[in-house]
Amino acid sequence: MHFITKNIAVLVVFSTLLFSSCQKDEYVVPDPVSDLTNDCIKRTIGPNIVSLPIEFAYAMAIPKSKGKLVSAQVEASIAGATGTYLEHRSFYTNTSGVDVPVTVGTPSSNEGKATKVSFSVDTTAATLRYFYVIPEEARGQSVTFTFTATSSNGQTVSYKMGPYTIAKMGIKKNIAVSNGNVAYISIENMVAYNAAEAAANASKVDLVYLYRATPTTFTHALVSPGAESAYLPGVTLPSGVNRSSKVRKVFNLQDRNLANLQFGIYVDDKDLQEVDLTDAPNYALGLRAEAGTWVETADKKYKAYIFLNSINANGSAVISMLRYAL
């Protein structure tokens, strides 16, 4: 009996300790903003490629009693290319799901590295989008951004974003190729030539686009000019076009920047640096839409990823490529 009562006492003591130590703190509503404050997020993801934009959303707010917003400014460490702007409208989504703009300021002006918007209506809170078009000077460099907001009571706040590394890769989208016509692809110039232009730029032509209905497995193909004649059926190459590039077929790699489909996969500098094509063939046959190829040029100057956006049964296709200088 004595033994049992002693155990119960110990049990009771321990359980009360347990329950009392698990008390949650009461929820306290956070203090509202009492001064001009700001916040910023980067909206684009994936590698930062020259000529593509980096998008930010910059939010600023001030209590109504203190004043209103006067201006917003963004300064980039490397001046943005043409097309860089700070949105002067605020957006809201209406009942039909459409984003409707409301003009809150004057259109932005770019002065050197800074982009500025002055508010033209009485606003105490706004979120403005900033689109920075990556310039050629930023290739391979780091870029930082300083977002600043000023209010009518003289306050200024700023928010620093970055540093962001800009990729060394180059991008070219939607190059149209067609069998027997504009079929000579140059990786160095990221363009497709017809026979006459190919002869003029013979040392830069890396691949030939072909379409053959027989054999049934040939269909759309990217073949090096220097490949065996069996893989270039009925093709007369312009004079001097004879380079042999390494080509490896890939499937299911729909890079977001090239394909703009629902897949969130990106090819970055590192992928192009590390892909090993030493024992790859110099042709790729039977390519379907959304197929891709890793390519290394004959002079080992460039590695590229070529993506087939679409194909047509009449013997044409649209390709896009990412190119990396080795």
Partner 1 sequence: MTKIYKTLIAILLAAAIAVSCSKDVPVDEDGLLITERQECFVSNFELLGSDFVTVRAAVPVIDTTAQTISVTVLFGTDLKNVYPQFTLATDCKLDPKVTGRTDLSDLANPKKYTVVSGNRKIRKEYSLNIKFQ
Distance between CA atoms of residues 177 and 175, nearest Å: 6
In this structure, the chain runs to a length of 326
User: Cβ of residue 277: shortest distance to partner 1, in angstroms?
Assistant: 10
For 325, phi then psi, to 5°, come to: -85, 120
239/278 with CB nearer partner 1: 278
Site mask for partner 1 (CB under 8 A), range 196-215, x = bound: -------------------x
Question: With binding defined as CB under 8 A, does residue 289 bind partner 1?
Answer: no
Three-class secondary structure of residue 272 per DSSP:
helix
Stretch that binds partner 1, among 35-43, 93-101, 121-129, 277-285 (CB under 8 A): 277-285
49, 183, 208, 280: which one contacts partner 1 (CB under 8 A)? 280
The residue whose two tokens read 């001030």 is 62
Q: What is the largest CA-CA distance in the chain?
A: 109
25, 31, 99, 279: which one contacts partner 1 (CB under 8 A)? 279
36, 138, 175, 285: which one contacts partner 1 (CB under 8 A)? 285
82, 252, 262, 314: which one contacts partner 1 (CB under 8 A)? 252
H/E run at residue 144: strand 142-151
Question: With binding defined as CB under 8 A, does residue 283 bind partner 1?
Answer: yes
113/248 with CB nearer partner 1: 248
Check if the beta carbon of residue 142 is closer than 8 Å to that of residue 163: yes
Check if the beta carbon of residue 269 is closer than 8 Å to that of residue 47: yes
Question: With binding defined as CB under 8 A, does residue 162 bind partner 1?
Answer: no
Could you tell me which residues come within 8 angstroms of residue 76 by beta carbon, excluding any fewer than 6 positions away?
Answer: 84, 113, 114, 115, 132, 143, 144, 145
182/253 with CB nearer partner 1: 253
Q: How many Cα neighbours within 13 Å face the side chain of 154?
A: 0
User: Cβ of residue 257: shortest distance to partner 1, in angstroms?
Assistant: 20
H/E run at residue 51: none
User: Cβ of residue 9: shortest distance to partner 1, in angstroms?
Assistant: 27
Could you tell me which residues come within 8 angstroms of residue 52 by beta carbon, excluding any fewer than 6 positions away?
Answer: 44, 133, 134, 171, 257
169, 222, 291, 304: which one contacts partner 1 (CB under 8 A)? 291
102, 120, 203, 251: which one contacts partner 1 (CB under 8 A)? 251
Distance between CA atoms of residues 189 and 7, nearest Å: 86
* Number of residues near partner 1 (by CB under 8 A): 17
248, 256, 289, 318: which one contacts partner 1 (CB under 8 A)? 248
107, 140, 163, 286: which one contacts partner 1 (CB under 8 A)? 286
User: Cβ of residue 251: shortest distance to partner 1, in angstroms?
Assistant: 4
95/216 with CB nearer partner 1: 216
Nearest to 47 by CA among 164, 160, 162, 136: 164
21, 217, 236, 314: which one contacts partner 1 (CB under 8 A)? 217
Q: What sign does the CA torsion over 171, 176, 182, 183 have?
A: positive
User: Cβ of residue 280: shortest distance to partner 1, in angstroms?
Assistant: 7
In angstroms, the Cα distances linking 225 to 86, 208, 321 are: 47, 6, 19
Question: With binding defined as CB under 8 A, does residue 263 bind partner 1?
Answer: no
Question: With binding defined as CB under 8 A, does residue 226 bind partner 1?
Answer: no
List residues near partner 1 by CB under 8 A: 215, 217-218, 221, 231, 248-252, 279-281, 283, 285-286, 291
